[in-house]
Amino acid sequence: DTAVSQTPKYLVTQMGNDKSIKCEQNLGHDTMYWYKQDSKKFLKIMFSYNNKELIINETVPNRFSPKSPDKAHLNLHINSLELGDSAVYFCASSQVRTEKQYFGPGTRLTVT
């Protein structure tokens, strides 16, 4: 059983396009996150949602808009894609702050 799933796994698109990445967790967790892993493999938090409410927005351009329709889903929509957006995006979830975070398999976004 997949705990945290993301779709698509790979996404290749051109500059200026708008795209979405979907994330779902079946762990019953109340907190979900989006992380970005750049070309140097450095992972950095982008957003954190708790019970469908935005908690953290870490200096991310407003072209990135997370949406949480329910506790099990946190989608990431990106407008006007730029070359610098190319990266691997990871979704994660946890129950409370003291517990482990479980990561999805990642979505590799390539902007050409």
Which listed range, 21-29, 41-49, 66-74, 78-86, lies at the site for another protein (CB under 8 A)?
Answer: 41-49
Which 3 state secondary structure label does DSSP give 8?
coil
The number of angstroms, rounded, from the C-alpha of 2 to the middle of its chain's C-alpha atoms is 17
Q: At its nearest, how many Å lie between another protein and the CB of residue 26?
A: 15
Count of positions on this chain that bind another protein (CB under 8 A): 29
Using CB under 8 A as the binding rule, whether residue 27 contacts another protein is answered as no
What's the rounded Cα separation, in Å, for the pair 47 and 99?
18
- Which of residues 15 and 55 has its CB atom nearest to another protein in the complex? 55
What whole-number distance in Å separates Cα of residue 112 and Cα of residue 108?
Answer: 13
Cα separation, 70 vs 55, in Å, equals 15
Specify the 3-state DSSP secondary structure of 99.
coil
Nearer of residues 15 and 54 to another protein, judged by Cβ: 54
Q: What angle do CA 101, 1, 12 make, to 5 degrees?
A: 75
Q: Which is nearer to another protein, 29 or 82 (CB)?
A: 29
8/16 with CB nearer another protein:
8
Residues near another protein (CB under 8 A): 4, 31, 33, 35, 40-45, 48, 50, 55-56, 58, 90, 92, 94, 96-106
